[in-house]
Amino acid sequence: MTNHIWQVFAYELQRNLRRKGFLFTTFGIPILAYILFFGYQFISSRSAGGEDIATTITESEQFQGIEKAGYVDHSGLFTDPGDLRSVLSPYANEESAQQAMDAGEIDIYYVFPENYLDTGDIVAYMPRFSIAQATESLVQQLVYAHFAQNVDPILMSRLISPAAINEVNLQRDATGETTTNFDVDFPVIYLFVMIMMISQFTTNGYLMQTIIEEKETKLIEILISALRPTQLLIGKILALGVLGLVQIAVWLGAVLLLAQIAGDVGTTLLFLLNISIPTGTVILFLVYFVLGYLFFAAVYGMVGAISNSMQEGPQFAVIFVLPAVIPLYFMTIFITQPDGALATALSLFPITAPLSMVMRLTISTVPAWQVILSIVVLILTNVGMMWLAGRLFRVNTLLSGQTPKLRDIPKLLRG
Amino acid sequence: MQSDATISVRQVIKNYGSFRAVDDLSFDVYTGEVFAMLGPNGSGKTTTIRMILDILKPDSGQISVLGGVITDAAKDRIGYLPEERGLYRSVKVLEMMVYLGMLKGMSRPDARQRSLELLELLELGDHTKSKVSELSKGMQQKVQFAVTVLHHPSLIIVDEPFSGLDPVNTRVVKDLLLSFRADGGTVVMSTHQMWQVEEMADRLLMIDRGAQKLYGRLEDIRQQYALHAIVVEGQGDWAALPGVDHIEHNGREGTTLYLKPEATSASVLAAIATAADMTIDRFELAIPSLNDIFIQVVEDR
């Protein structure tokens, strides 16, 4: 009994691990990202290097493609940019700085508020948001230039972390109406959710494919003359679940490695290192991944059982996939109100729970009871879904050459 | 009934909704024979085979296979070649055979060893690393057959084993089936190719609309369907012979003499022998081919 499950498991695992599609998504995407990232690094360092800017700036720091920048100082601390004059020009007020940016004289300008020394907050204005230009290094240079000599304890803390850019005005006309909260949270959540979703749908897609392939080629009849359909299904679900975990491990590893390397090179991705994701969150992330995977494994297993072609399967699956990605549409709401009614409701509803909870856990401290409740609800739902999948994944459905009509499905479930 | 039945089917009924696919069917398959299952399309052959294999459950009746109600261990002793052939398309031949062998209880080295032997035997030794999709249709059929006998089964159930094979490969598969029987194996074969049944089968079952129509030894059934007629070749006025009701010329196949009820083949032969103006080159009982019997049974329903 269990022997057959393991045979299916071992076979499906080794077979799917070698799939070109799997190898590409698992290793190709990180490699591609690395190439793009370092290629960009290389090109931007080439264009910035070799010019007189480099010589005027201590420690040959690059400014991520910023050739000219301006600043408006309300704090009264930075009246003279000193050695940085060739790159950084002071402006009396926002209007004149904006005019200079509109005229293309500068790429970006920073505004130091009056309380800069206390908060370290500055506002950066740029015509288009560019993650590469959202850098603190220019400001860092300015601050060093001013305070490097007379170091006192309060100033030292600002020297270590001179700028926490938390607002980026995307508007060219500096009305300041629509400022987007740009936080480190956004890319991290985005990364987590994408990893989870892509992995979940890739592996479950394979699950469905292997089932439909066996139906399409009629091999299914030979298989179920040797083992029970449910043994086949369980073996496959386990194998592809492990495949998903392998994929996640590779991606998370790649991200951490990139953050490490990028940190050394000194780039904006440094933020990843500054965020410590608690071990508990990582474990919960895996728990939600597994529960979400199982839910969709049941769905895709059922869809595979009733579909008779590779074209048909995904069409049925979409019915379940669409509601599951609802949380993505509300990502901004999750970021601004991670514990609001909508976020809470979506994180308790089983289909949307995995993605929603992962988003909330990344940004906020979710009450333990909500985590427990959502896990319990998900487990119960999964038990029910697996039962349904088992009812549908049977001889009558698997050997029938026709796709059942919707009204036949209750009959098939009853058997 | 012999005691060493490999398969024993008793009063089996199977319905699909309101449609009765198998209707009170009973038969035995004896160890070491080639048993043919015949019947028109949709007559219930495949359903019966699936019930024997425990893929489907009968609504009522009993089926015993290899000495009792089928178990997982018994399943490992059965080889099955379904009518609708199936192999993974993008998997290498050897790799797939090893997997299917292991599902039938073989160890990996055994499955590998035996697969290589079979592929060699079927002249597919050069294709162990090919993908199934790269093989010709005939080659795929042979691989499929190899999968059926891979795990040294004691019973194989083959549904249309010769479909899609050219005459050479038909010969290869036929020899394998017969050597399987010679080694003590039992073969259940479902086919529409009547001459193959005439050549190979020891006994047969013919079903129509799920019910038994013919069952028994091939010779007995043909005798049973023998016409009250004689086929002759030679010279003479056959219609004028005493005891002959009417005649039918079959061209090169000779002439069929239909006899009157009171006449026998012996009395007709005696009459020919004593007639001065008759010569005879051939004289035999008109025994219909299995094909004729099949058509007659189906048309008589």
By the CB < 8 Å criterion, does B100 face chain A?
yes
Give the pLDDT confidence of B36-89 residue by residue, as tens digits: 999 888 889 999 999 999 988 899 999 999 988 888 889 999 999 998 877 888
Amino acid at A131: I
Angle of the A353-363 helix axis to the A279-306 helix axis, nearest 10:
160
What residues of B are in contact with residue A226 (Cβ under 8 Å)?
75-76, 100, 103-104
Query: For B188-209, what is each residue's pLDDT tens digit?
Result: 999 888 888 888 999 999 999 9
Task: Answer yes or no: do B80 and A222 touch at CB < 8 A.
Answer: yes
**What is the mean pLDDT, run by run of 10 residues, along chain A of 415 residues?**
86 91 88 81 63 38 68 82 79 87 84 82 75 66 66 57 48 35 57 83 89 87 89 93 91 79 54 59 86 91 85 81 85 83 91 89 84 95 91 80 74 71
Backbone angles phi, psi at A18, to 5 degrees: -95, 0
Taking contacts as CB-CB distances below 8 angstroms, the residues of chain A near B86 are 214, 217-222
User: Which residues does chain B have within 8 Å of residue A7's beta carbon, measured at their own beta carbons?
Assistant: 99, 102-103
B86·A217 Cβ contact <8 A: yes
Chain A contact for B78 (CB, 8 A cutoff): yes
Statement: residue B280 has pLDDT above 80: yes
- Mapped to the 3 state alphabet, what secondary structure does chain A carry? CHHHHHHHHHHHHHHHHCCHHHHHHHHHHHHHHHHHHHHHHHHHHHHHCCCHHHHHCHHHCCCCCCCCEEEEECCCCCCCCHHHHHCEEEECCHHHHHHHHHCCCCCEEEEECCCHHHHCCCEEECCCCCCCCCCCHHHHHHHHHHHCCCCCHHHHHHHHCCCCCCEEECCCCCCCCCEEECCCHHHHHHHHHHHHHHHHHHHHHHHHHHHHHHHHCCHHHHHHCCCCHHHHHHHHHHHHHHHHHHHHHHHHHHHHHHHHHHHHHCCHHHHHHHCCCCHHHHHHHHHHHHHHHHHHHHHHHHHHHHCCCCCHHHHHHHHHHHHHCHHHHCHHHHHHCCCCHHHHHHHHCCCCHHHHHHHHHHHCCCCHHHHHHHHHHHHHHHHHHHHHHHHHCCHHHHHCCCCCCHHHHHHHHHC
Name residues 185-214 of chain B within 8 A of A (Cβ): none
Inter-chain touch B75–A226, beta carbons under 8 Å: yes
Query: What would the two tokens of residue A315 be?
Result: 């069409």
B279 DSSP β-pair partners: B235
Q: Is ipTM strictly over 0.85? A: no
pLDDT higher than threshold 70 for residue B180:
yes
Give B55 to chain A, closest Cα distance, Å: 6
Q: Inter-chain contact B102–A223, Cβ cutoff 8 Å?
A: no
Q: Are the CB atoms for A360 and A377 separated by under 8 Å? A: no
Residue B7 predicted with pLDDT over 90 = yes
Question: How confident is the model over B15-40, as a mean pLDDT?
Answer: 92
Q: How far is B98 from chain A (nearest CA, A)?
A: 10
> Could you give the CA distance from residue B279 to residue B269 in angstroms, rounded to a whole number?
11
Is B82 in CB contact (< 8 Å) with chain A? yes
CB A123, CB A164: distance < 8 Å: no
A225 contacts B147? CB cut-off 8 A: no
Q: Which residues of B touch A220 (CB under 8 A)?
A: 86
Residue A2 CB burial class (10 angstroms; 0-12, 13-18, ≥19): exposed
Looking at the complex, report in whole angstroms how far the Cα of residue B54 sits from the nearest Cα belonging to chain A. Answer: 7
pLDDT at residue B148, rounded to an integer: 93
Q: Which residues of A touch B (CB under 8 A)?
A: 1, 4, 7-8, 11, 15, 213-214, 217-227, 395, 399
Among chain B residues, the shortest Cα distance to A399 is held by: B55
Higher pLDDT, B16 or B110: B110
* CA–CA separation, A142 and A81 (whole Å): 7
Q: How many residues does chain B have?
A: 301
- Taking an 8 Å cut-off on Cβ atoms, the answer to whether A221 and B84 are in contact is yes
Q: Which of residues 24-63 of B touch A (CB under 8 A)?
A: 50, 53-56
User: Quick one: which H or E segment has residue B229?
Assistant: strand B229-235
Q: Measure B193 CA to nearest chain A CA, in Å.
A: 23
d(CA B208, CA B126): 44
Candidates B55, B85, B99; nearest CB to A395: B55
- Yes or no, beta carbons of A395 and B88 under 8 Å apart: no
B221 touches A: beta carbon within 8 Å: no
Min Cα distance A290 → chain B (Å) is: 27
Per the CB < 8 A criterion, the answer to whether A302 and A230 are in contact is no
The pLDDT value recorded for residue A409 is 76
**Are B100 and A225 in contact (CB < 8 Å)?**
no
Across the interface, do B85 and A218 touch by the CB < 8 Å criterion? yes
- Site from B55, B87, B150 to mutate, A interface, most A CB atoms within 10 angstroms: B55
Residues in chain A closer than 8 A to B56 (CB atoms): 395
DSSP bridge partners of A169: A125, A179
